[in-house]
């Protein structure tokens, strides 16, 4: 069974500066499917962090963590559409990374050793 961790915590004491980037329109992705008889001991773990190393993350005193609120909103919106967790977390990264918070940016981070798509069943 996969182990999922979502962590709201600063990993530094400075705000994350903004940079200007061009859009990436490449959409050529492939997946490989090879059955395994055993798996590594670090397989099927996902860690979602509110920010990357060395930077602050932000929390509203009224509504709570920007990262956790966005994660909950995206889960509520995209789970019924049968989107996988990595796709949902990528949308969280896009939304949180697009905001300006206290004059700074915040970039969440996904670390994953999941071997399959994880799609939540909606009753």
Q: Cα separation of 52 and 109, whole Å? A: 6
What are the tens digits of pLDDT across the range 20-37?
655 555 555 555 555 556
Closest listed residue to residue 96, CA positions, set 26, 6, 24, 3:
6
Q: Environment class of residue 104 by beta-carbon count within 10 Å: exposed (0-12), middle (13-18) or buried (19+)?
A: middle
Choose which CATH entry (3.40.50.1460, 2.40.40.20, 3.40.50.20, 3.90.76.10) describes domain 1-12+44-122.
3.40.50.1460
Q: Cα separation of 9 and 115, whole Å? A: 26
Say whether pLDDT at 46 is over 70.
Answer: yes
Q: Delimit the domains of the chain by residue range.
A: 1-12+44-122
Q: Cα separation of 28 and 57, whole Å? A: 32
The confidence score (pLDDT) of residue 19 equals 67
The model's pTM is: 0.79
Of 6-10, 18-22, 26-30, 72-76, minimum mean pLDDT range: 26-30
């Amino acid at each position: 069974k996969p182990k999922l961790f979502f962590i709201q915590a600063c990993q530094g004491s400075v705000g994350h500066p903004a940079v200007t980037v061009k859009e990436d329109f490449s959409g050529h992705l492939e997946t490989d499917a090879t059955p395994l008889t055993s798996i590594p001991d670090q397989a099927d773990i996902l860690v979602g962090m509110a920010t990357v190393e060395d930077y602050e993350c932000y929390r509203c005193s009224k509504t709570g963590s920007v990262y956790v609120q966005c994660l909950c909103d995206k889960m509520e919106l995209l789970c019924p559409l049968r989107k996988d967790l990595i796709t949902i977390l990528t949308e969280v990264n896009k939304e949180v990374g697009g905001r300006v918070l206290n004059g700074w940016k915040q970039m969440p981070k996904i670390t994953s050793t999941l071997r399959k798509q994880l799609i939540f069943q909606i009753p």
